[in-house]
Amino acid sequence: MEYGVTLRVAARALARNKMRSALTMLGIVIGVCAVIAMVSVGQGAERQVQQQIESFGTNVVYISAGSPSRGIGGMRFGSWAVKTLTIEDMEAILKEVPLIREAAPGVMESAQVVFGNQNWFTRVMGTTPNYLSMRNWAVAAGSMFTEDDIHAAANVCVLGKTVADLLFGEQNPVGQTIRIKSLPFRVAGVLTPKGQSAMGDDQDDRIFAPYSTVQKKLKGQDWLQFISASAISREASVAAVPQIESLLRERHRIRLGEDNDFQVRTQSEVADLAQATGRIMTLLLGSIASISLLVGGIGIMNIMLVSVTERTREIGIRMAVGATEDDIQRQFLVEAVTLSLFGGVIGIALGVVFSVLISNFLQWPTLVSPAAVGMAATFSAAVGIFFGYYPARKAARLDPIEALRYE
């Protein structure tokens, strides 16, 4: 029996029970739609995280004070408690590790900031002017503080967009004086917006000041919490890690067998980790949605079983006039696959619509990848074959004599 004829027979059988076929298909439609929409959410998030990390630069090496491997016995808890990382370390790295092109220090303080009758609790980061250029971060108005400000430990600062908006509203902050921990700081500039970080916090909710000012005037310390460095390439960033480690161990006089009192991480490591995390999330969302596809498949099986019983006499007639078991099996299998494939196609279309709706109304990033669409289509056809097989087999195994007698 030719496939064209088989298809036509299947199409007609399905058309005969339009409502039932539509409802059966609906199960697959919902399943495929859910898979497409959920996977698009997962992949969208994955891509966004990836982009943010890449915008940060994949050649970034991040050196922080303290190390999680130093246990309670060592009394070392984190970057705030470890006093050994200094600006001299940074200078040494720049001098002795040629793979590192640039570096900026980081010292953080949380503080209440006040302008006029407005106030806001934010974080102040002490650094050097090149931190902005390393992060491709531009000044929107005014200017960045200078090397001279660092030498002088001057009370100047640059505001992130969120802080500027909250304290100044419509006013121009440049040239104004704000109070950080009750010390007056001149606002030298305002930064362009940077948006959320990969971890989801607002990068614009921040004030930048010379690291020397933050160390001496806000924190009263002479060490750093971290150093942000950039290598000449992504590969170089990984290669630089052991060099930085041995240099710092030497400088910090860490003996053989003792743990580091600092931690060196590369952005590419973080990127890989984030990617793995994102993939797990996508997989999780996809598998939860697949359950509904499975339920849709069971719906197909159910309806096909009913259909086989209802059409027992038809099967008997077909067998009497010469249909083989294979012919009958193929006919019912094609019906099941037609149902699931049509459902799959509609589901894919709906899933794409949903993912667009999700990104428009919930502001979540979504990404419908051809791979996900292809997989959903394959999967829905597979569901048809898998759940159609048993009813089709049952139909083919009918005894023609019994089937002809069936009322």
Residues at the interface with other proteins (CB under 8 A)? 1-2, 5, 16, 313-314, 316-327, 400-401, 404
Minimum CB distance to other proteins, residue 368 (Å):
41
**Cβ atoms of 290 and 356 closer than 8 Å:** no
By beta-carbon proximity to other proteins, the closer residue of 16 and 95 is 16
Minimum CB distance to other proteins, residue 20 (Å):
15
Closest by Cα among 283, 262, 398, 386 to 336: 386
For 335, residues 6+ apart whose C-beta sits below 8 A from its C-beta are: 10, 13, 14, 304, 307, 388
DSSP type of residue 225: S
Report residue 59 as tokens.
Answer: 């050649």
Report residue 398 as tokens.
Answer: 């009918």
Q: Coil, strand, or helix at residue 241?
A: helix
Residue 175: phi and psi, rounded to 5, are 95, -15
C-alpha to C-alpha distances, 122 to 108, 117, 140, 164, 167, nearest whole angstrom:
10, 16, 20, 11, 11
By beta-carbon proximity to other proteins, the closer residue of 239 and 317 is 317
Minimum CB distance to other proteins, residue 392 (Å):
16
Minimum CB distance to other proteins, residue 17 (Å):
11
By beta-carbon proximity to other proteins, the closer residue of 289 and 396 is 396
Minimum CB distance to other proteins, residue 308 (Å):
15
By beta-carbon proximity to other proteins, the closer residue of 25 and 403 is 403
Minimum CB distance to other proteins, residue 394 (Å):
15
The distance from CA 295 to its chain's CA centroid, rounded to whole angstroms, is 28
- Exposure class string for 307-340: b at 16+ Cβ within 10 A, else e: bbeebbebbbebbeeebeeebbbbbbbbbbbbbb
By beta-carbon proximity to other proteins, the closer residue of 152 and 320 is 320
Sign of CA pseudo-dihedral 182, 188, 193, 198: negative
By beta-carbon proximity to other proteins, the closer residue of 11 and 356 is 11
Minimum CB distance to other proteins, residue 372 (Å):
39
Residue 75 gets the label, from left (phi > 0), alpha (psi -120 to 50) or beta, of: left
Alpha carbons 404 and 187: distance in angstroms, whole number: 93
By beta-carbon proximity to other proteins, the closer residue of 32 and 319 is 319
Minimum CB distance to other proteins, residue 287 (Å):
41
Minimum CB distance to other proteins, residue 33 (Å):
32
Report residue 293 as tokens.
Answer: 């596809």
Residue 69: phi and psi, rounded to 5, are -80, -10
Minimum CB distance to other proteins, residue 16 (Å):
6
By beta-carbon proximity to other proteins, the closer residue of 44 and 316 is 316
By beta-carbon proximity to other proteins, the closer residue of 235 and 310 is 310
The distance from CA 135 to its chain's CA centroid, rounded to whole angstroms, is 20
Tokens 């074959």 sit on residue: 385
By beta-carbon proximity to other proteins, the closer residue of 14 and 103 is 14
Alpha carbons 331 and 345: distance in angstroms, whole number: 21
**Cβ atoms of 236 and 60 closer than 8 Å:** no
